[in-house]
Structure 1
Amino acid sequence: MFVFEPSKLTYENLLQTLQITPPTPFAEQDFLNMFFEKVYKPIPLICNLVLVMLWQHPENIELEQVKVVRYCDAREDIKMLVKKWWDVYDDSTLNFKAEDTAQKGTMISKSTVLASLPEPAVSYIPAPSAA
């Protein structure tokens, strides 16, 4: 997951750095990991379970808490995770409710949206590269 707060300065720095960075095997993934290495903050395993973690660090996984599983397929050893995904997908109580949206024809101004946003705050935890 990549969360980015738009910044013209960051954009210009990205372009400048891209011009002097040699190509890598994983292109944009490697580049972004390198560029943002000092502000990288991993998302919790419950929101980003990579299946290999089940075998490498099972003590860190609470399966009942997991919300997102990456690279999931129908192998026998992970069928219960696939089933959990489909259970959530098929749960109609989680469907979008149209009545929660603005009335048809209602205009929402950009200034209203911007005024409702919280002040940006930069907080991060230095972490090793994910590459």
Structure 2
Amino acid sequence: MQVTCFTEDLHDAILHFQIIRFSKQVNMVSWFQIYAWVGCNTAKFGNLYAAATTRPGNGVSVTSVLGGASDNTGSGMARRLVLKTGLNIVLACNIPKDSPMLEAAAERKLVEKLRGLGYVRPKAGEANTPTAQ
């Protein structure tokens, strides 16, 4: 398990981030899942969503695990994070619902950090870089 925490000042709001990578190896194949938390101006937990790719067609399914509904900020962000990273994501999100610019900035920063940590899976046709251990 690897934990990464950081804070960013985006759009006149302080955003706190925590990323936890859970890894497992089965039959010599490594895989991992990401838990991410984004809090706006406070350390409040917020709603919790789980998102993963589904077969056939590699669509994305999202479910509310704790609080919230499918129309909340975190639900859409969890779906887009799976599409952008190829990872299973469990996301706790405490961003105001009426702040789409803040939501987009938080999502960009989270994807940027996941890439920087080497957690993002390369898409078909991209260079095959090793995943962080």
Identify the structure with the greater helix proportion.
Answer: 1
How high is the TM-score relative to the length of structure 2? 0.21
Q: Which structure exhibits the higher relative contact order, with contacts defined as CA atoms closer than 8 Å and separated by 6 or more residues? A: 1
How high is the TM-score relative to the length of structure 1? 0.21
